Structure 1
Amino acid sequence: MLNKLLQNKTTIFAVTVLVMLLAFIRGFERQLFYDPFLFYFEGDYMELPLPEFDNLKLFFGLSLRFFLNTILSLGILYFLFKDKGMILFASILYFFLFVILIVTLFCILYFFKNQENLLLFYVRRFLIQPLFLILFVPAFYYQNLKN
């Protein structure tokens, strides 16, 4: 086991650095990204009206954060599995999931207003957190075991 760890020093170091960068994004989210919902969801958001927001700034803030999380997540997946085909597949999945989630988020904001705050919370959460990484690592690991 120790020999295996020593052989994979580079992989362990790279994954550790990438995870730390994901934590950095999370830790400095207020300074790095425009997102008025950060403060909104800290309070009793089920009773509060939606905060004022700039559509374009919100779109670009969420997109930038999703893009950064995606790049770091793809890096982690690459170092863990070293399979370019798998990374290409994950990239395509990330793209389609982004389109679906961002459209859903803005539909909720405009068509449901204050009625679907919990749904808004979870859709936004999938956009701003690297949750797909948590799903992809075990899925790709299982896929590698099957092959």
Structure 2
Amino acid sequence: MLKKILAHKLRALAFIGLVCLMAMVRIFESSLFYDPFLGYFKSEFTGRPLPEFDTIRLTFSLFFRYVLNTVISLGLIYVAFRQKRMVAFSALLYIIFFLLLMVAFFVILYAFGNNATLELFYVRRFLIQPIFVILFLAAFYYQEHAAKK
């Protein structure tokens, strides 16, 4: 019994630690990543021209941030469910979503530019924030508990 309680405490601590890592990524985003859109989207951006940016640096920065959030998210999913199948499936989804979102981001950026700043804002949000982990945790939790009924 004591081992079971201790195991749950360790899982809870690991989960909290991973959430804190995600928070650290967000807290230090301006020093860790190249993103000229950080300041742009924090201000009133409607009607303003897009900031100047280096496409290659921006691509690598978005990739690095997405990978960092993905690794932490996959750790959260593993700690929560301890099933490698879920982690592998999530990793595949993260790869697919990254490719789709990056294509959408640059199509919006170069094809529509200032005419689609809100769309750019939301696509970028999915790239830089760990939104998918919330969806995956909820979906896997539901799947796991629905299967038991």
Amino acid at match of 2:125: R
Aligned partner of 2:59 in structure 1 is 59
Structure 1 unaligned spans of 5+: none
Moved more, 37-46 or 5-14: 5-14
Task: Quote the offset at 1:4 in angstroms.
Answer: 6.8
The reply to whether residue 131 of structure 1 matches residue 135 of structure 2 is no
- Partners of 1:15 and 1:61 in 2: how far apart? 26
Q: How far 1:44 sits from its partner (Å)?
A: 1.2
Structure 2 counterpart SS, 1:116:
helix
Report whether the alignment pairs 1:145 with 2:145.
yes
Number of equivalent positions: 146
Query: What do the CA deviations read for 1:89-130 (whole angstroms, capped 9, x no partner)?
Result: 000000000000011000000000100110000000000000
Q: Could you tell me how far 1:7 is from its partner in structure 2?
A: 4.0
More helix by share: 2
Give the share of equivalent positions with the same residue, in percent.
50
Alignment of 1:49-88 (within 5 A): 49-88=49-88
Trace 1:1-147 onto structure 2 (pairs within 5 A).
6-147=6-147
Point out the more displaced range, 137-146 or 92-101: 137-146
* Root-mean-square deviation (Å): 1.5
Query: Given the two structures, how large is their TM-score scaled by the length of structure 2?
Result: 0.94
